[in-house]
């Protein structure tokens, strides 16, 4: 099941479960006669429908905040159930506190119904229906994975014996969603080369199937193998003494957007860059996961939407005036747009107020520099104050960018930098930002490859320590530097 289909199925399931819970609670509270209802109370179906819509929106926000619409690919069902229990409990407590839970007992008389009992009933209904319906969705996903539908093309790296052992264990758990298409030998290793390797796997259902796993090359060809095979997951089965081979694989694999996982025996080599995950009793470790917690990711996106909307719409007269000055002060359009590489390597169109003369790169793409002769007179002010970046708030609003993140680069430079700088592609695991840790601390344009190396160090440092609090600190630091006009022209 694709990510879009999974998300659509979850949204539909939650819509059904949450509304069914509300109407069941409404019937029990109002129409069953089991609870006290104030005389002359007019609580009809119109109230129930309107309240249901508001309650549904509330739960959608809460679910997104706790990461329940993230992909739960290869995670244990128990993990999701625990997250649902926590989410539904916190959400119900919030409703019970913020909303006057029992508005049907009359305005001038004390309630005859214990609000705690009503909240408990509603919570139990949520547990039953939401967890039940979601469990059916996950059951359907697992059945599809067991039949080979929706699996992710996976590659094993290691010698034949270790690759075969890992592939056998993966085949024993088809619900993991890995479809092993082949394996790659470590470069410069002396293993007996074979055109292919076949093995028999006995599944839990008792069926015996044969799976041929071919050798696709060596780690020196890893980038080509990943690209040609459209590999989504790279599973490393090297020995614990093969440190250099592992680090080489990590560098090569980082040039793609494939996930990278190792067995626990190699954890000591990458500690600090990994997150342990146990799935159905089958332990694998993610290398370089995005460490932002679900609620922080939701808070980060909420801050992006709020700030970008405020800046764009409240400052609209100023931005129109700025665009007019750019247009009148030099020949060319008021805005400048360019394709940049964003999250997961996808390209998008970035927007700025034009600060350079037109045809500034007739000789080809080049680094910006201090006192760049291509910059216009008004453009120097825009760059010094960072106001040239304002149109990018539109990119933030539509989700191409974030307020804080690694600065995006052009594909022309990205291809070169991936070859020059190990782990450069790691920056593409998160949304690019208008500002970042490097800009808040150093705040200068990249003039050469050494500057880029320094910026990448700051970018990776930011990704490894991402938090909502850090984003807020970077934003305040950036505003301070703007007020001090410390930008580079």
If asked whether residues 136 and 158 sit together in one domain, one would say no
What's the CATH number where 158 sits? 3.40.50.720
Say if 488 falls within a structural domain: no
The dihedral formed by the CA atoms of 323, 325, 328 and 330, expressed in degrees to the nearest 10: -90
Question: In 158-207, at which residue ranges do the beta strands (DSSP E only) sit?
Answer: 178-185, 196-202
Sheet arrangement for strand 282-287: 196-202, 208-218, 178-185, 152-157, 233-236, 259-262, 282-287, 274-279
On whether both 318 and 463 belong to a single domain, the answer is yes
Residues 369 and 235 in one domain: no
pLDDT score of 316:
92
- Distance between CA 329 and CA 375 in Å, rounded? 12
Residues 136 and 106 in one domain: yes
- 353 φ, ψ to 5°? -75, 135
Does the reported pTM lie above 0.75? no
Domain boundary among 84, 111, 146: 146
Q: Which residues pair with 185 in a beta bridge?
A: 218
Instruction: Answer whether residue 375 is part of any domain.
Output: yes
* β-bridge partners, 183: 156, 215
Q: Is residue 413 part of a domain?
A: yes
Partnered with residue 331 across adjacent β-strands are none
CB proximity list for 374: less than 8 A, separation 6 or greater? 356, 357, 360
305 and 406, same domain (yes or no): yes
Name the E strands within 273-376.
274-279, 282-287, 335-341, 347-353
Phi/psi of residue 38, nearest 5 degrees: -60, 145
CB atoms inside a 10 Å sphere around CB 90: 13
- Nearest-angstrom CA–CA distance, 267 and 277: 12
Statement to judge: residues 199 and 277 lie in one domain: yes
Q: Residues 277, 262: contact at Cβ < 8 Å?
A: no
pLDDT tens, the chain, 489 aa long:
567 777 888 889 989 999 898 888 877 776 666 665 555 555 555 666 777 888 888 998 888 888 788 766 545 666 778 888 888 998 888 887 766 444 444 444 444 556 677 778 888 999 999 999 988 888 887 788 777 777 888 888 888 888 888 887 777 777 777 888 888 888 765 555 454 555 555 555 445 566 777 888 788 888 888 888 888 888 888 766 666 777 777 777 777 778 777 765 443 444 444 444 444 445 565 665 556 777 788 889 989 999 999 999 999 999 999 999 988 888 888 898 889 999 888 899 999 998 887 766 665 566 565 666 777 888 888 887 888 889 999 999 999 999 999 988 888 888 888 877 767 877 888 899 998 888 887 766 666 677 777 788 888 778 877 888 888 888 888 887 777 655 554
Tell whether 63 and 172 lie within a shared domain.
no
Contact 104, 38 (CB under 8 A): yes
Three-state DSSP class for residue 280: coil
Count the Cβ atoms, other than its own, within 10 Å of residue 219.
Answer: 22
How far is 247 from 232, CA to CA, in rounded Å?
Answer: 19
Q: What angle do CA 402, 358, 410 make, to 5 degrees?
A: 35
What span, in angstroms and rounded, lies between the C-alpha atoms of 23 and 45?
9
DSSP 406-474: PPPB-HHHHHHHHHHSTTGGGGGGS--EEE-HHHHHT-----SHHHHHHHHHHHHHHHHT--HHHHHHH
For residue 489, is it within any domain? no
User: Do residue 276 and residue 416 come from a single domain?
Assistant: no
Task: Give residue 451's pLDDT.
Answer: 74
- What is the number of domains present in the chain? 3
Q: Which DSSP helix (H) or strand (E) runs through 305?
A: helix 294-314
224 close to 234: Cβ distance less than 8 angstroms: no
Looking at the structure, do residues 340 and 320 belong to the same domain, yes or no? yes
Give CA separation, 30 vs 43, 103, 111, 130, in Å.
Answer: 8, 11, 14, 22
CA–CA dist 176, 168 (Å, integer): 13
Residues 417 and 388 in one domain: yes
Is there a domain that residue 373 lies in?
yes
pLDDT at 235: 86
Asked whether residue 212 falls in the same domain as residue 140, the answer is: no
Q: Same domain, yes or no, for 46 and 174?
A: no
Other C-beta atoms lying within 10 Å of the C-beta of residue 116: 10
Could you list the residue range(s) of the whole structural domain that residue 112 is in?
3-146
325 within some domain: yes
- Domain end among 103, 129, 146: 146
> Which residue has 């104030």 as its token pair?
38
CA distances from 180 to 176, 210, 258, 284 (A): 11, 13, 14, 15
> At which of 245, 260, 287 does a domain end?
287
Query: What pLDDT does 77 receive?
Result: 64
């Amino acid at each position: 099941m694709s990510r879009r289909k999974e998300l659509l199925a979850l949204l539909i399931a939650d819509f059904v479960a949450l509304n069914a819970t509300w109407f069941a609670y409404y019937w029990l509270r109002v129409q069953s006669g089991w609870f006290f209802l104030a005389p002359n109370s007019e609580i009809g179906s119109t109230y129930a429908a309107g309240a249901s819509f508001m309650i549904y929106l509330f739960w959608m926000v809460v679910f997104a905040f706790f990461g329940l619409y993230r992909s739960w690919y290869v995670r244990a069902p128990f993990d999701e159930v625990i997250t649902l229990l926590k989410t539904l409990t916190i959400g119900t407590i919030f409703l019970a506190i913020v909303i006057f839970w029992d508005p049907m007992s009359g305005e001038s008389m004390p309630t005859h119904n214990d609000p705690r009992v009503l909240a408990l009933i509603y919570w139990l209904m949520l547990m039953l229906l939401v967890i039940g319906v979601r469990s059916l969705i996950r059951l359907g996903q697992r059945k599809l994975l067991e039949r080979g539908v929706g699996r992710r093309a996976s590659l094993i790296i290691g010698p034949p014996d270790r690759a075969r052992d890992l592939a056998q264990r993966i085949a024993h758990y088809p619900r993991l969603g890995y479809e092993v298409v082949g394996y790659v030998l470590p470069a410069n290793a002396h293993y007996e080369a074979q055109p292919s390797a076949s093995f028999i796997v006995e599944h839990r259902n008792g069926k015996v199937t044969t799976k041929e796993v071919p050798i696709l090359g060596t780690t020196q060809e890893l980038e080509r193998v990943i690209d040609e095979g459209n590999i989504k997951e790279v599973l490393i089965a090297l020995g614990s003494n093969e440190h250099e081979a592992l680090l080489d694989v990590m560098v090569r694999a980082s040039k793609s957007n494939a996930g990278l996982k190792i067995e626990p025996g190699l954890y000591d080599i990458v500690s600090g860059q990994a997150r342990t995950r146990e799935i159905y009793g089958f332990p694998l470790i993610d290398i370089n996961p995005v460490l932002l917690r679900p609620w922080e990711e939701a808070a980060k996106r909420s801050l992006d939407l709020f700030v970008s909307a405020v800046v764009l719409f409240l400052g609209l007269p100023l931005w129109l005036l700025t665009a007019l000055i750019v247009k009148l002060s030099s020949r060319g359009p008021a805005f400048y747009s360019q394709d940049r590489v964003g999250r997961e390597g996808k390209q998008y169109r970035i927007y700025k107020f034009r600060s350079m003369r037109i045809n500034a790169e007739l000789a080809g793409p080049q680094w910006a520099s201090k006192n760049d002769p291509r910059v216009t007179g008004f453009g120097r002010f825009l760059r010094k104050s960072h106001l040239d970046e304002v149109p990018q708030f539109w990119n933030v609003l539509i989700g191409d960018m974030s307020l804080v993140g690694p600065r995006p680069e052009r594909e022309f430079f990205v291809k070169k930098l991936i070859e020059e700088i190990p782990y450069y592609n790691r920056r593409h695991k998160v949304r690019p930002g208008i500002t970042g840790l490097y800009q808040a601390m150093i705040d200068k344009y990249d003039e050469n490859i050494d500057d880029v190396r320094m910026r990448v160090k700051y970018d990776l440092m930011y990704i490894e320590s991402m938090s909502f609090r850090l984003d807020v600190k970077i934003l305040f630091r950036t505003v301070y530097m703007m007020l001090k006009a410390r930008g580079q022209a």
